[in-house]
């Protein structure tokens, strides 16, 4: 048969049959107090981080307003000749296989033809075919 495990004396209830339940209740209440204090600390940390973020944001906005930059404050005038030459170029997307770490490139919009490239983003040279399959020696 099972028995009630030995427990410390309860500070709230001195009735022997409920000693184990009281000890579990005390453990629960202690854990709850610890968690509440941890939540309070996290909330305080969040307030501190938010205040720091607002200060940094204000500093960044002041910096942007003081430094004239057409990239940050105004629209950029577009040169149509450079846009046309940009559209004529072939554009590549570079992707890395997460399992093999092999780098591939493909043309923009072409999802089927991936070409392996080296770390400098140059395609590997094709291997020379020294022996043809029909050559007889």
Give the tens place of pLDDT for each residue, 52-67: 999 999 988 888 777 7
Q: Which two tokens stand for residue 37?
A: 């204090």
Arithmetic mean of pLDDT over the chain = 77
pLDDT at 98 > cutoff 80? yes
Residue whose structure tokens are 């007889």: 136
60 or 8: which leads in pLDDT: 60
Supply the pLDDT for residue 124. 73
Mean pLDDT of 89-114: 84
pLDDT at 71 over 90: no
Contact 115, 126 (CB under 8 A): no
pTM greater than 0.75 (yes/no): no
Residue with tokens 């940390």: 45
Contact 115, 123 (CB under 8 A): yes
- State the pLDDT at residue 12: 64
Q: What is the DSSP letter of 123?
A: B
The fraction of the chain above a pLDDT of 70, given in percent, is 64
Of 4 and 110, more confident:
110
């Amino acid at each position: 048969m099972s028995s009630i495990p030995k427990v410390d004396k309860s500070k709230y209830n001195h009735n022997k049959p409920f000693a184990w339940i009281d000890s579990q209740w005390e453990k629960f209440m202690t854990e709850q107090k610890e968690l509440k204090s941890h939540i309070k600390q996290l909330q305080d940390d969040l307030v501190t981080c938010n205040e720091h973020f607002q200060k940094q944001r204000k500093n960044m906005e002041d910096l942007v307003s003081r430094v004239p930059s057409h990239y940050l404050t105004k629209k950029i005038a577009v040169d149509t000749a450079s846009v046309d030459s940009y559209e004529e170029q072939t554009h590549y997307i570079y992707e890395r296989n997460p399992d093999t770490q092999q780098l591939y490139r493909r043309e923009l919009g072409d999802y089927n033809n991936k070409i392996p490239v080296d770390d400098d983003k140059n395609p590997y040279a094709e291997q020379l075919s020294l022996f043809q399959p029909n050559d007889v020696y």
